[in-house]
Amino acid sequence: MLYHIETDERMAGGHASTMYTLSRRDVGSLAEIWPDYGFNCVRWQADAKDLLFKSPDWNENPLSTRSGVPILFPFPNRIRDGLFVHKSRSYQLPKNDSTHANSIHGFSPRNRWRVVETGARMNEAWVQADFRIRTEAPEAAGLWPGDGILSVIYRLTPEALRIEMRVINLGDSPFPFGVGLHPYFRLPAADANCSRYVLHAPARSIWPLKANLPIGEKQPVPDELNWNNARMLAGTELDTVYSDLGVIQSDNEGLLHRASLGHDKKIGQIEMWTSSDFRESVLYTPPHRQAICIEPYTCVTDAVNLQGQGVDAGWRELAPEGEWSGVVEFRWNSTE
Concatenating the DSSP letter of every residue in 110-154 gives GS--EEEEEEEETTEEEEEEEEEHHHH-GGGTTTSSS-EEEEEEE
Residue 299: Cβ within 10 Å count: 25
What's the domain count of the chain? 1
SS3 assignment, position 101: coil
The pLDDT value recorded for residue 117 is 98
Residue range 113-125, pLDDT digits in tens: 999 999 999 999 9
What is residue 70's predicted lDDT score, i.e. its pLDDT? 98
d(CA 260, CA 164): 20
pLDDT for the residue numbered 191: 79
pLDDT of residue 192: 84
Please report the pLDDT score of residue 251 as a whole number. 97
Q: CB neighbours (10 Å) of residue 15?
A: 9
Q: What CATH number is attached to the domain comprising 192? A: 2.70.98.10
93 neighbors 81 (Cβ within 8 angstroms): no
Nearest to 43 by CA among 26, 20, 9: 20
Report how far residue 16's alpha carbon sits from residue 8's, in angstroms, rounded to the nearest whole number.
10
Q: Which stretches of the chain drop beneath a pLDDT of 70?
A: 336
Residues spanned by the domain of 306: 4-333
